[in-house]
């Protein structure tokens, strides 16, 4: 049985995607997930979403996919235990040691690898299975044939984004440290947890600096122009029957940093498409294409506004640093 897992960038979004047909929602923890604080939930919100999902017979995955330091490991395990006690069914993790830690201490929890693991072949998948992964999320760029080959070589659950990079791109999601070169600020919260700005791997936000070409000269104006170092992925649908036939067990809807209305409409469309496939075994989904194109346009508009804001933050920070150097 295939599971559709949809984003919960806010409490409202998490509850909405469950109402619209997703079997599970994934929610991020502030400071422990690869998003900015505005797209993460407080512990109180997470508990409320878990209770809401339980009443509907659905599930919650908690995103803890940063790379904790040694001093943060006890805090990490404490939080994972707490969410499990509240009823969270699984976790999204990118750090290999943390995967093994959760598997050993909470063997009943599902472990979803984060895209930050940077998988490229079935040997990677086998290794992740050996350290406790239940589901392994594949990169945007893999073909159906590659998925079939990976599925034939391992018994791990295969998870794919309903999102792919048309022309490949040059940067592997989750492995980029570019933002840290533009801005790196940190502070401790009351529990002693480090929080970062400018490093998604440490719980901050990606500043989308790969979307511009930069020119730096101390004491001079920072300049940038648009380029495509990283190709922006796009929603897809007509290939869906082939992906399910290849053995995909979890379909991941992207969009924690998008609007609730847009994510709601994306989930509605994919829910109808998946139901058609399951009812007819191999369905022609071309009649969904006009609706898909409208969603792509809305996605692009929201993505552009967000990217412009994040790049502007990087530019402002660069100007501040260059001014300090000049002085």
- pLDDT at position 169 over 50: no
Asked if residue 268 belongs to a domain, the reply is yes
> Considering the entire predicted model, what is its pTM?
0.80
Query: What is the Cα–Cα distance from 183 to 180, expressed in whole angstroms?
Result: 5
Query: What is the Cα–Cα distance from 33 to 243, expressed in whole angstroms?
Result: 28
State pLDDT tens for residues 5-31: 999 999 999 999 999 999 999 999 988
- pLDDT at position 63 over 80: yes
Asked if residue 270 belongs to a domain, the reply is yes
Asked if residue 70 belongs to a domain, the reply is yes
- pLDDT at position 55 over 80: yes
Asked if residue 264 belongs to a domain, the reply is yes
State pLDDT tens for residues 249-285: 999 999 998 999 999 999 999 999 999 999 986 688 9
State the pLDDT at residue 34: 76
Q: Are 164 and 147 in contact (CB under 8 A)?
A: no
Per the structure, how many domains does the chain have?
Answer: 1
Asked if residue 72 belongs to a domain, the reply is yes
Predicted confidence band at 193 (pLDDT cuts at 50, 70, 90)? low
State the pLDDT at residue 139: 81
Q: Which domain holds residue 92?
A: 3-175+230-287
Over range 98-127, report the average pLDDT.
92
Angstrom CA distances, 119 to 142, 174, 281, 300, stand at 10, 10, 29, 26
Query: What is the Cα–Cα distance from 219 to 327, expressed in whole angstroms?
Result: 8
- pLDDT at position 220 over 80: no
DSSP assignment, residue 114? P
Asked if residue 281 belongs to a domain, the reply is yes
- pLDDT at position 224 over 90: no
Strand partners, 27: 62
Q: In sequence order, which residues have a C-beta less than 8 Å from that of residue 84 and are 6 or more positions away?
A: 106, 109
- pLDDT at position 159 over 80: yes
Asked if residue 312 belongs to a domain, the reply is no
- pLDDT at position 239 over 70: yes
Q: In Å, how far from its chain's centre is CA 56?
A: 24
State the pLDDT at residue 170: 45
Predicted confidence band at 327 (pLDDT cuts at 50, 70, 90)? low
Q: Could you give the maximum distance between any two Cα atoms of the chain, in Å?
A: 69
Query: What is the Cα–Cα distance from 246 to 80, expressed in whole angstroms?
Result: 32
State the pLDDT at residue 171: 47
Element (H, E) at 14: helix 11-19
State the pLDDT at residue 95: 93
CATH number of the domain that 104 lies in? 3.20.20.60
Asked if residue 34 belongs to a domain, the reply is yes
């Amino acid at each position: 049985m295939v599971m559709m897992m949809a984003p919960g960038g806010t409490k409202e979004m998490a509850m909405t995607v469950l109402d619209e047909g997703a079997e599970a929602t994934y929610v991020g923890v502030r400071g422990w997930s690869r998003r900015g604080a505005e797209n993460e939930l407080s512990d109180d919100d997470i508990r409320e979403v878990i209770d809401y999902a339980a009443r509907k017979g659905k599930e919650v995955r908690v995103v803890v996919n940063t790379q904790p330091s040694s001093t943060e490991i006890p805090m990490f395990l404490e939080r994972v235990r707490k969410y499990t006690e509240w009823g969270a069914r699984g976790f999204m993790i990118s750090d290999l040691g943390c995967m093994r830690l959760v598997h050993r201490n909470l063997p009943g929890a599902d472990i979803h690898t984060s895209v930050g693991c940077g998988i490229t072949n079935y040997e990677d998948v086998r290794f992740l299975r050996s350290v406790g992964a239940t589901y392994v999320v594949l990169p945007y760029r893999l073909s159906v044939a590659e998925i079939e080959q990976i599925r034939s070589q391992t018994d791990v659950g295969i998870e794919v984004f309903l999102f792919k990079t048309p022309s490949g791109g040059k940067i592997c999601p989750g492995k980029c440290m570019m933002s840290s070169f533009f801005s790196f600020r940190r502070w401790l919260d009351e529990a002693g947890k480090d929080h970062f700005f400018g490093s998604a791997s440490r719980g901050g936000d990606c500043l989308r600096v790969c979307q511009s070409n930069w020119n730096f000269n101390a004491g001079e104006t920072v300049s940038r122009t648009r380029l495509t170092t990283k190709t922006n992925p796009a929603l897809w649908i007509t290939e869906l029957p082939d992906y399910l036939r290849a053995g995909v067990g979890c379909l991941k809807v992207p969009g924690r940093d998008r609007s609730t209305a847009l994510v709601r409409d994306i989930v509605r469309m994919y829910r109808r498409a998946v139901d058609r496939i399951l009812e007819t075994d191999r369905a022609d989904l071309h009649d969904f294409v006009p609706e898909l194109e409208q969603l792509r346009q809305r996605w692009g508009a929201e993505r552009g506004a967000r990217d412009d804001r994040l790049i502007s933050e990087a530019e402002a920070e660069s100007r501040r640093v260059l001014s300090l150097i000049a002085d």
